[in-house]
A and B are shown apart, each in its own frame.
Chain A
Amino acid sequence: MRGCCRGAPTFKGTLPIENLIEIKGARHAYQTASGPLPVLDGLDVAVPAGTFAAVVGPSGCGKSTLTKLVAGLMKPDEGEVWLHGERVTGPRKTVGMAFQNPVLLEWRSILDNVILPLEIVAPKMPTKDRTARAMELLEMVGLAGFESKRPSELSGGMRQRASLCRSIVHKPEVLILDEPFGALDAFTREDLWQTMRDLRAAEPFTAVLITHDLRESVFLGDQVIVLSGRPARTQYVMDVDLPADRTLDALFTPPAAEMLHILRDQIKIAQGRADEGGV
């Protein structure tokens, strides 16, 4: 079988440094009017430094909760979250986030939107340097010449490109992507996958990508983590055995097809539909 598949996640040794992101045995329940709603039940995630972890799973299984844990926006009821060998207890400046909704600020130009995190993280950085850094990224994603436009003047794909620039402008250690390509049409989405791949080669972040698209997870991920239905636990982890500078064509090779097939079976298990044949 291609693509070295691990049935259960194994942590590579106990050295916390090796895995930049590590979640161990996270359990969490939201308090709702009709009693506690468990969303995480034994979540284990280990992402080595500089790699890209794609997380897939059924709708509403707690994937967004996972991003909040990594970002330090909430604490799990049980279990531990480690970043860079340090226990996560709250927000930290070394995180970048991008969402399905690009959430650009309409009253700022594209350039000023990208600069926003620098205003928080590096308030003393000279304006000239901020602009240079933002322009460097905007050029990389093909938005040079649009820096003084308002977000409302750009297409959905371009807005999402600007949102990606904003999420990495402060050189975060950890990049959290919560379905950033989910609302785009198929062709725009594939364009953005390639943009993401190129950004990854140029920037030093370690990424967690939440997605519903298995092809996306195989194209961008160094590993694909399959979560079970709610409450989520880590059901399956697959190492993606494709070259780092993979092209879209790589998705149409037999190894990729095999990986996609395995992932699809895992999703069916997660959805509790494993018994259904040939669906």
Chain B
Amino acid sequence: MLRKIATPVLAILIFLGLWELLVWANGWPNYKMASPSDLPPAFWKYKELFLLMGWQTLWRTVVGLLLAVIVGTLIGMIIGFSKLARDALYPLLVGFNAIPKATLVPVISLIFIGQHDFNTILMAFMISFFPIAVSVGIGLSTLEPEYRDILRALGASRFTIFRKIALPKTLPEFFGALKVSATLAFIGTNLVEIVSPHGRGLGALFKSGETNGDYPLMFAVLIALAVLGIVLYYAVIFLERTFAGWADREGH
């Protein structure tokens, strides 16, 4: 257990050490590249802002991700169960996913003008539902017919078959996608926070650091974002262990 925590902590310390060394060896000033030792003062100086903005970024990301889970699972069910829907929706979904989401920021800012929370959540959702929809869809459409038949032969309803077999069987794929989506959702949130004027959240804090030429602040924001990303990722891992731990085979 100690080793499990010590290993990643040690890796992070080595990373910070190398970073510090790189900046020191090149004699870079902190407006060119901040070093790890610049970060604690930056965090301390803006500690209230970091808590406030970090919380805003986190809750909007989580709400966007929850929306992505609900809508993504529904779309996944539709394309997983119906060949017709699969043929019809796949090109649309792939096309939508291929659009760089940064280009949509001005579009949604204009449609929902001034609705900063809503716009941010919407972007987090739009950028992260695709992996969930595809993996749930594939999980359902590749269900071996025998799994269905053992219950269907007993007269079980489609919903019962879904609840008892298809849903749990798809959980490992679902959580695999959720890990990707959790990090994507952060990108969506920050995109809106940085690009839209008068934004809030860590993205806006980054933007203000840029405006004021406060480079240690900008780097501190990036580190804070990374920490939030790690927290959310491990929250997903925790859920995965709880609900789909059976898929994790010992010794493999």
Contact = CB atoms under 8 A, between A and B. Distances in A.
Indicate whether A and B interact: yes
Interface of A: 71-73, 90-93, 95-97, 99, 101, 103, 105-107, 116-117, 119-121, 150, 152, 166-167, 170, 176
A92 B146 CA distance: 17
Interface in B151-175: 151-156, 160, 164-165, 168-169, 171
A107 B168 contact: yes
Given A99-B146, A103-B144, A91 B152 contact: yes
14 contacts: A73-B152, A91-B152, A95-B153, A95-B154, A96-B153, A101-B144, A103-B150, A107-B168, A107-B169, A116-B151, A117-B150, A117-B151, A170-B154, A176-B153
Interface in B136-194: 144, 146-147, 149-156, 160, 164-165, 168-169, 171
Contacts of B244: 107
Contact of A120 (B144, B146, B160): B160
A105 B164 CA distance: 9
A121 B244 CA distance: 26
Given A71-B149, A152-B249, A166-B150, A93 B168 contact: no
Contacts of B153: 71-73, 91, 95-97, 176
B31 interface: no
B48 to A, nearest CB: 46
Given A105-B165, A107-B168, A121-B154, A97 B149 contact: yes
Given A105-B169, A106-B247, A107-B246, A120 B151 contact: yes
B101 to A, nearest CB: 35
A150 B246 contact: yes
A120 B154 CA distance: 7
Given A103-B146, A117-B151, A170-B154, 7 more contacts: A71-B153, A93-B155, A95-B154, A96-B153, A107-B171, A107-B247, A116-B151
A91 B246 CA distance: 31
Nearest to B156: A120
A103 B156 contact: no
A128 B249 CA distance: 30
A176 B150 CA distance: 11
Contacts of A73: 149, 152-153
Nearest to B246: A107
A99 B144 CA distance: 12
B164 A92 contact: no
B36 to A, nearest CB: 44
B154 A117 contact: yes
A75 to B, nearest CB: 14
B155 A92 contact: yes
Among B149, B156, B168, B169, which residue has the most Cβ atoms of chain A within 10 A? B149
Contacts of A166: 150
Contacts of A92: 155
A220 B156 CA distance: 30
- Interface pairs A-B: 3 shortest CB-CB: A107-B246, A71-B153, A91-B155
Contacts of A72: 153
A105 B155 contact: no
Nearest to B247: A106
A244 B207 CA distance: 84
Given A103-B144, A107-B246, A91 B154 contact: yes
B164 A103 contact: no
Contacts of B156: 120
A176 B147 CA distance: 15
Interface centre among B147, B155, B160 (most CB of A within 10 A): B155
Contacts of A120: 151, 154-156, 160
Contacts of B171: 107
Contacts of A93: 154-155
A18 to B, nearest CB: 24
B171 to A, nearest CB: 8
Given A116-B164, A119-B164, A150-B246, A97 B155 contact: no
A177 to B, nearest CB: 13
